[in-house]
Amino acid sequence: MPVKRVLCPERLRRVPASFSWIDHRLVRDKHIRRCSAQALALYLFLVTVGDAEGLSYYSDRLLAGWVSLDEASLARSRRELLEAKLVAYERPLYQVLALDPQAVHMPERTPQAAPLPLGQILATMMEKRA
Give the tens place of pLDDT for each residue, 72-118.
999 999 999 999 999 999 999 999 999 875 444 444 444 555 676 77
pLDDT at 112: 53
Q: Considering the domain 19-100 in this protein, what is its CATH number?
A: 1.10.10.10
| C-alpha span between 74 and 61 (Å, rounded) | 9
Identify each DSSP E strand in 67-125 by its residue range: 87-90, 93-96
Give the tens place of pLDDT for each residue, 27-78.
988 889 999 999 999 999 999 999 889 999 999 999 999 999 999 999 999 9
Q: CA–CA distance from 21 to each of 59, 120, 125 (Å)?
A: 23, 17, 14
Angle between helices 71-83 and 37-49 (to 10 degrees): 80
